[in-house]
Amino acid sequence: MKNNRVKNITPYLFLIVPLILYLIWVIGPMIYTFYLSLTKWDGLSAPTFVGLRNYERLFRDPVFFISLKNNVKWILSFITIPVTLGLGLAIALNHSIPGAKFFKASFYSPLVLSLVVCGLIWSWMYHPAGGLINSFLRGIGLGSLAKGWLSDENLVMWAIILVAIWRQAGYVMVLYLAGLQGVDPQLIDASKVDGCNSWQTFRNVIFPLLTPVTVIVIVISIIDSLRAFDLVSVMTRGGPYNSSSVLANFMYIEAFNNYKMGYSAAISVIIFLISAVFIFIYLWRIMQDEMEY
């Protein structure tokens, strides 16, 4: 009887240390951030409790709505273009074609670079005078299309999102390639025997079987969009005139440039709540699938 009790307790003993670390480094700071969002604090003096004033101010701040709109643009771009490109690349490279390994490595290679490095490289490419893009346009006689890509309020956000898409497409491709390995070739052969063409086979057989991967890709893409910071910080710091500001960058500037830690904490809470909605949807979907099995 005593041995059985020891066996039942042993797994929990192994979990104590990581659980304590998780509470200290994750749950504790999270709760403290919620508290700070209800205070006025400059990071040096003692926090002063102000209730919901930070949130009231936040929802009257035009920069917050610009940042939120840019995050929405980022989300919509991320769940459409990289997903479509990644799926197309995965379908194309899933077959034994010459150079398939080279192309897989080439499309995945941007993901190996840090976002800071990507931001610096593309900043040089976007340079209005000596940048690769404008130099190329002038070289082929299309100099009229040359722009100040990172100084134009109407273009800057899309220019940054393009960099993120360039990097994300390879990641989505790898996820779909992994999903395609689980598709039974006999189902594809059976669809061809039934007279389905390539598009019908993809639409009716392959794509439905990739639904779990698609859900994961979309949720990850949304969360990555809400965490977007590095590229904006390196390339524009939210300029010009906050036209490329996103929530994470807005939060950072308010905290470490303007020393409004309580206000910054309120922004982080908003980011957390938006992310939590999509995480909850994802977990609910996973639980539904497990219940079906």
Tens-digit pLDDT profile for residues 129-174: 888 999 999 999 888 888 889 999 999 999 999 999 999 999 999 9
pLDDT attached to residue 222: 87
Residue 83 placed within a domain: yes
- The first and second tokens of residue 282, run together, are 């994802």
Whether 35 maps to a domain, the answer reads no
Find the helix or strand (DSSP H, E) in which 39 lies.
strand 39-40
Q: Do the domain assignments include residue 240?
A: yes
Is residue 288 domain-resident?
A: yes
> Is the residue at 243 inside a domain?
yes
| pLDDT, tens digit (0-9, with 9 covering 90-100), for 97-111 | 787 788 888 888 888
* Residue-level pLDDT at 277: 87
Whether 151 is covered by a domain: the verdict is no
For residues 85 and 92, is the Cβ–Cβ distance under 8 A?
no
Residue 40 three-state SS: strand
Buried b (16+ CB within 10 A) or exposed e, 153-188: eebbbebbbbbbbbbbbbbbbbbbbebbeeeeeeeb
Q: How far is CA 170 from CA 7, 103, 120, 166, in A?
A: 45, 10, 19, 8
CATH code (residue 247): 1.10.3720.10
- Model pLDDT, residue 293: 57
pLDDT at 33: 93
Is the predicted pLDDT of residue 207 greater than 90, yes or no?
Answer: no
- The residues, ordered by sequence, that sit 6+ positions from 266 with a Cβ below 8 Å of its Cβ are 37, 54, 55, 58
Q: State how many domains the chain has.
A: 1
Domain that residue 221 falls in = 62-115+158-292
Burial of residue 78 (number of CB atoms within 10 Å: 0-12, 13-18, 19+): buried
Q: Is residue 171 one of the residues assigned to a domain?
A: yes
Residue 143 domain-assigned (yes or no) = no
Looking at residue 86, the DSSP 8-state letter turns out to be H
